[in-house]
A and B are shown apart, each in its own frame.
Chain A
């Protein structure tokens, strides 16, 4: 069960401004049935660019309905330029906060508002020009980068909470991680690393190393006609032997240190040292 604030529940049970404005000045439609939530926002704007009325129709959970209701209350009476500054965090704050898994509901509100204002102004939204990263929910890189910057996101999980990207098949996880790294300018602790066990028995360590080699390293090497084999693990020293094309490759030592060792340190234990058993 979600922990909703009293305000969220109040706006869910008694939503304000439900409906559609006849002959609206601007319309914003975001989301879809397939995604599980959708919002249609209609605005009436007067000659002085003041939003005189706003109505919504929302398909979605309690927090989606509450976010939509809150949004209409926040923008009615505001100048379009002022309304355009409203962020998803402002919507969440208005409701006294949202569960972190539900932040995407506030993002949907902000997106609908932007779309409606763009429609009113006759401009094109930058998000629509982006490249789709998450196929399941149709989220573009532009939207993801913006969510990362605006909300100071620090993990792939947070990106999913805010944008839904990565919440379906999960195939875009690597792309999301790259976007996170390039956008934030540094490598963040990702969940997989946080959960790595620090104290391992020798057997667990060997198994884990084997697993990482199998999953992360070998497929790449094999593509180039090479391979790698685990020879021994002695304390922090991991003896490996390069095979196939790798043995004659001039870059093999660089591969060992910069690729294999880095990956093992990242995913198994940050004190590991990789050595070529043949040298």
Chain B
């Protein structure tokens, strides 16, 4: 099979990111000569265990956590499932979960299944969002009940980049004695996080969203939080997660967390400026285009724009001809027949939901790339609109 990677303009960093060269370099020795098992008694293995411990400390440093609060997992989805199921098992009498309507499928599908497939043993409250994708704190407070086992609210939305006030929401949950989980997969590395000061009990992150490889994630568990493992097995991760450690990827994630701390400023200045240029350029040059999501509390790298009366998959395939990578909330690309649940929850009209495109940038994007995209998109949209029975331009 012929693969290609030349001249790719990659603007889909909320889907996955490139592995930073520094990360790959840190990983390589553990994919080659240092293959020992970190649990082994001899030094050849034990030394690898010490490297894993170093990586753990680096992840903890980025989050403002203690190393023992960091458990390595295989991905964000595993971290999410572990947190929710742990809380439900820790409090067997509590059957209620509070979450939002705009969670990533890792949480959404899990909660849907807990709700419907366990003979309705669990109740799930899914908080609404306003038209700009924001939550209502009063609705949140009213949703918390005596039998609420856990609250799970994403830190930042993957489709719109909208940031939720999880700090405040966690504090409210704590007052009620309710565990608080946040899926921070999109937030970590893009905005500063200091868990020491917060009341968050569980936090999930995923390696491949911050320039380390796929197949490694983290679950932060605040010290003292009751915990039941999801993957039972050996004594790895202090018995919190069985299975031999994915050493090279863990080392890579540790390095990626160091880099993320160094690049946080750049993410919030350079990347933000590129995103703003792209966004303003598109909204200015394409008629009947609109921004989805709140512009104040938003990740610096994400822009979700709807082009009315055209369909997202068609736009993406035209972009693909120029090697431009982005994603869409349209039905045809969501794998279902309906447009994105996030945009529907926000009440984005169908005229716009089907034609939504998400651009998500990273520190590796350049101004030339943004200019190129700005040059190509207006003509693509115009040609598709000419074909659309709903366009009277």
Residue of A29, A36, A58, A211 touching B331 (CB-CB under 8 A): A36
Any B CB within 8 A of the CB of A39: yes
**B186 CB, nearest partner CB in chain A, Å:** 22
Residue of B311, B318, B321, B386 touching A37 (CB-CB under 8 A): B311
Given A36-B354, A168-B338, CB of A18 within 8 Å of CB of B386? yes
Q: Which residues of B contact A29 (CB under 8 A)?
A: 389
**Structural contact, A167 and B314, CB atoms closer than 8 A:** no
Any B CB within 8 A of the CB of A136: yes
**Structural contact, A59 and B336, CB atoms closer than 8 A:** no
**A110 CB, nearest partner CB in chain B, Å:** 17
A residues 156-181 touching B (CB-CB < 8 Å): 160, 164, 167-168
**A105 CB, nearest partner CB in chain B, Å:** 9
Q: How far is the CA of A267 from the CA of B390 in the complex (A)?
A: 46
Any A CB within 8 A of the CB of B317: yes
Given A37-B311, A211-B119, CB of A15 within 8 Å of CB of B330? no
Closest B residue to A56 by beta carbon equals B387
Closest B residue to A102 by beta carbon equals B332
Closest A residue to B334 by beta carbon equals A36
Chain B, interface size: which category?
A: 20 to 34
**Structural contact, A33 and B387, CB atoms closer than 8 A:** no
Q: Which residues of B contact A167 (CB under 8 A)?
A: 336-338
**A138 CB, nearest partner CB in chain B, Å:** 12
Any A CB within 8 A of the CB of B339: yes
Any B CB within 8 A of the CB of A62: yes
Given A18-B387, A36-B331, A36-B337, CB of A12 within 8 Å of CB of B309? no
**Structural contact, B332 and A38, CB atoms closer than 8 A:** no
Q: Which residues of A contact B390 (CB under 8 A)?
A: 33, 38, 59
Mark B residues whose CB is within 8 Å of A. Answer: 117, 119, 309-314, 317-318, 321, 330-332, 336-339, 350-351, 354, 386-390
Q: How far is the CA of A39 from the CA of B390 in the complex (A)?
A: 10
Any B CB within 8 A of the CB of A77: no
Q: Which residues of B contact A214 (CB under 8 A)?
A: 119
Q: How far is the CA of A12 from the CA of B387 in the complex (A)?
A: 11
Q: Which residues of B contact A15 (CB under 8 A)?
A: 387
Given A38-B389, A214-B119, CB of A33 within 8 Å of CB of B354? yes
**Structural contact, B386 and A61, CB atoms closer than 8 A:** no
Contact with B along A192-233 (1 / 0, CB 8 A): 000000000000000000010011000000000000000000
Q: Which residues of B contact A62 (CB under 8 A)?
A: 313-314, 317
Residue of B117, B321, B337, B389 touching A59 (CB-CB under 8 A): B389
Count chain A CB atoms within 10 A of each CB in B119, B309, B386 and give the residue with the most: B119
Can you sample 26 A-B contacts with CB below 8 Å? Answer: A9-B317, A12-B314, A18-B387, A33-B309, A34-B350, A36-B330, A36-B337, A36-B354, A37-B311, A38-B390, A57-B387, A58-B389, A59-B310, A59-B354, A59-B387, A60-B332, A61-B311, A61-B330, A62-B313, A64-B311, A65-B387, A136-B338, A164-B337, A167-B338, A168-B338, A215-B119
Q: How far is the CA of A9 from the CA of B318 in the complex (A)?
A: 10
Q: How far is the CA of A193 from the CA of B60 in the complex (A)?
A: 46
Any B CB within 8 A of the CB of A137: yes
Q: Which residues of B contact A13 (CB under 8 A)?
A: 318, 321
Q: Which residues of B contact A12 (CB under 8 A)?
A: 314, 317
